[in-house]
Amino acid sequence: MDVTLKVWRQDGPEAPGRFETIPVQDVSEHMSFLEMLDVVNERLTTKGEEPVAFDSDCREGICGMCGIVINGHPHGPQDGTATCQLHMRKFNDGDTIVVEPWRAKAFPIVKDLVVDRSPLDRIIEAGGYITIRAGSAPDANLILVPKPASDAAMDAAACIGCGACVAACPNGAAQLFTAAKVSHLNLLPQGQPERWTRVEAMVDEMELYFGSCTNHGECEAACPKSVSIDFIALMNLDYVKAKLKNRKRIGQTVQ
């Protein structure tokens, strides 16, 4: 099949960007979208033109490194699928495909389709962990976890941190990512001691970089792991409770 790409090109964070039209002949429908871009880049390089910069790594839909807005959808048209798992069979011969980087103020463009997603790490650093020193843990079966709790925690923990939720949100909010991380730990018995400080610290950190959630639900639609927005409700509830609970007298202070 033949397609026409309209690709966002931008030399660096400060440089002006533009769309460039690249006709691509002889695309196999079995190619993944990124393999198609690989072929485009090989062809461009051989002609002496700079290849299109894009991020990808595992190409198995798990590392969260890839992320391209395709025809207006983060990760493209297929539900619950990361860009690297999207195949050209989802497109038609003769299609024009618009290819853009994640669009969010918190994610400045590095080059072409590559963005800087480091604010997501700042949210984790604020409290997205359970404090336990290596070697000091009790036998694993001393902490009983009801299967439904473990399953629900795993549903949240499946987040791959790609940032599609932010890119899809009209407000550039990171509620789905943050809620997934908060819920994963707050749903488990092990997460209880730091439950209230965790949610408060992470949400507060998130708000330093990202926009507000106004319940559009676009994040869930764009999420390659179909993480549910129910977790946002859980996070909000915990946040409100934390605001009430986080008093010095109960032994948990906000750092």
Q: Which residue has the tokens 């604020």?
A: 126
Distance of closest approach, residue 183 Cβ to other proteins, in angstroms? 11
Q: Which is nearer to other proteins, 90 or 216 (CB)?
A: 90
| Sign of torsion over alpha carbons 150, 122, 73, 34 | negative
Q: Which is nearer to other proteins, 111 or 213 (CB)?
A: 111
Distance of closest approach, residue 104 Cβ to other proteins, in angstroms? 15
Residue 166: both structure tokens together: 């932010």
First to last CA, the chain: 57
Spatial contact of 203 and 122, defined as CB atoms under 8 Å apart: no
Distance of closest approach, residue 186 Cβ to other proteins, in angstroms? 9
**CB neighbour burial string for 217-254, b if at least 16 within 10 angstroms, e if fewer:** ebbbbbbbbebbbebbebbbebbeebeeebeeeeebee
Spatial contact of 69 and 103, defined as CB atoms under 8 Å apart: yes
Residue 33: both structure tokens together: 């979208």
Q: Which is nearer to other proteins, 132 or 214 (CB)?
A: 132
Q: Which is nearer to other proteins, 65 or 69 (CB)?
A: 65
**CB neighbour burial string for 65-100, b if at least 16 within 10 angstroms, e if fewer:** bbbbbbeebbbbebeebbbbbbbbeebeeeeebebb
Q: Which is nearer to other proteins, 27 or 216 (CB)?
A: 27
Q: Which is nearer to other proteins, 2 or 49 (CB)?
A: 49
Task: Write the DSSP symbol of residue 75.
Answer: T
Backbone angles phi, psi at 3, to 5 degrees: -135, 165
Distance of closest approach, residue 177 Cβ to other proteins, in angstroms? 12
